[in-house]
A = this chain, B = another copy of it.
Amino acid sequence: MIKPRTPPGVLELLPADQIAFQRMLDTIRRNFERFGFLPVETPVMELSEVLLTKTGGETERQVYFVQSTGALEKAAQGEGGPPELALRFDLTVPLARYVAEHEHELAFPFRRYQMQRVYRGERQQRGRFREFYQCDIDVIGKDALSTRFDAELPAVIHAVFSELDIGAFTIQLNNRKLMRGFFQAQGVAEPALQALVLREVDKLDKRGEDYVRQTLAGEGFGLSADAVARILDFVKVRSTSHADALARLDALAGDNQALREGAAELREVLELVRALGVPESAYALNFSIARGLDYYTGTVYETTLNDYPQIGSICSGGRYDDLASHYTKSKLPGVGISIGLTRLFWQLREAGLVGAAESTVQAMVALMDEGSLPDALEIARRLRAAGINTEVQMEPRKLGKQFQYAARAGIRFVVLAGEDERARGVVAVKDLAREEQFELAREELAGALKVELEQARALPKR
């Protein structure tokens, strides 16, 4: 007897949670499609040679390699090379490979969404996953891509998280050019040095301002007290309204070209985000946001839940200059965001924010006695034909047990047709959500339940 268990680092759900998770996936997909993004799926396995062009060091240590039994046997005999296949660790490298491979079959700007699982050999730790869903959208241009596309992504993020209904959130915006220009103006010109300064600045919350001030003014960095003060003021900028955000950009002094370019891009993005109907409470400038320093080159995004800052960013991304330089000579600039849904779902559940989902099953036809099975099946057939998800009790049990089952499973309607009801051409319906029971003519059953279910869908969830 083998103990049935999953490997560590995966999130496997019972059906009720799986339904809640699936509803989140569906909501995200619906909104991605609402904004005109097209679906792409790529294989879980990529050729190692193709997947691992960019990575090295620590990232490479997290890769899962794949070998068939045959390849494994060869390897054991010292034959064959390193594993030919590896599991994708994100959706960006597969996107780069996809776009480069199908470059001549795609229309640019290419707007794609992709919602699939990725794999990382993470250290074993609570809340860290080795298999998790990423839900990504990217717009890829050929040769060039207008900054305007940077403004669409916050509108998508706003639509997604509004409908996910997990509380107030803020989409935080920054721009890597603006940061670069600002740090240049403070005498921190080297990108590597900027990265080190930002790493210190990241410790503001944990170590406090004094510590960071001393470090930046100390031997290692040797920045002037003025420069340090300006840096600390800069990274603390959080705009409080649309007008305030524009004013913050206007207030940035200096004629550094990168700074001016970055500020102009942010201004354009802010104006178009507003034109797209995103309420100003949902977005803000945050000059401390840097994201991957060696990857993003313009707008960068992070999204946080206002009431759950400890969860961190629930949706991040930004603008990059060239998606697929390892695979094609074409220049493919892009902008994208990613939602790590498995981690988000886990955190929301830990915080008690994932409610008990209604079942996907909407009605259950109870079975009164052996003889009424064909009749129960006929009732179910009509309900299903009307688009109502219906389960039939295939074996008679005590009615109490059947109701208990439906209640536990989160099924809203229990339909009964005993001898008496059959004789009168009616069915009895128990609405477990409203705790009421009523009778309906058989022909009216499906239509009536459909109306009830559509009304429930139209109501606000809270």
Residues of A within 8 A of B (CB): 1-7, 10, 12-15, 18-19, 21-22, 33-36, 38-47, 49-50, 53, 60-70, 72, 75, 82-85, 87, 96-98, 100-102, 105-107, 109, 111-112, 117, 119, 121, 130-131, 146, 148-149, 152, 155, 159, 271-272, 275-277, 324, 326-329, 359-361, 364, 373-374, 377-378, 380-381, 384-385, 387-392, 394-395, 405, 408-409
Contact = CB atoms under 8 A, between A and B. Distances in A.
Given A53-B2, A148-B395, A326-B1, A408 B69 contact: no
Nearest to A52: B2
A106 B373 contact: no
A231 to B, nearest CB: 35
A48 to B, nearest CB: 10
B391 A7 contact: no
Given A66-B87, A360-B38, A360-B39, A394 B146 contact: yes
Contacts of A152: 392, 394
A33 to B, nearest CB: 5
A21 B40 CA distance: 10
Shortest Cβ-Cβ A-B pairs, 3 listed = A36-B391, A68-B121, A4-B327
Q: What's the number of copies of this chain in the assembled complex?
A: 2
A15 B363 CA distance: 36
A244 B187 CA distance: 91
A131 B45 contact: yes
Contacts of A45: 7, 10, 64, 119, 130-131
A39 to B, nearest CB: 5
Contacts of A359: 38
Contacts of A2: 49-50, 53, 326-327
A161 to B, nearest CB: 15
A119 B19 CA distance: 25
B53 A63 contact: no
A13 to B, nearest CB: 7
Nearest to A73: B61
Contact of A275 (B21, B64, B378): B378
A64 B45 CA distance: 11
Contact of A46 (B6, B43, B106): B6
Contacts of A7: 43, 45-47, 84-85
B66 A66 contact: yes
A24 to B, nearest CB: 12
A66 B69 contact: no
Contacts of A117: 44
A276 B4 contact: no
Given A64-B68, A276-B377, A5 B146 contact: no
Contacts of A324: 4
A327 B360 contact: no
Contacts of A10: 43, 45
Given A50-B2, A84-B7, A148 B33 contact: no
Contacts of A83: 67, 72
Contacts of A63: 68-69
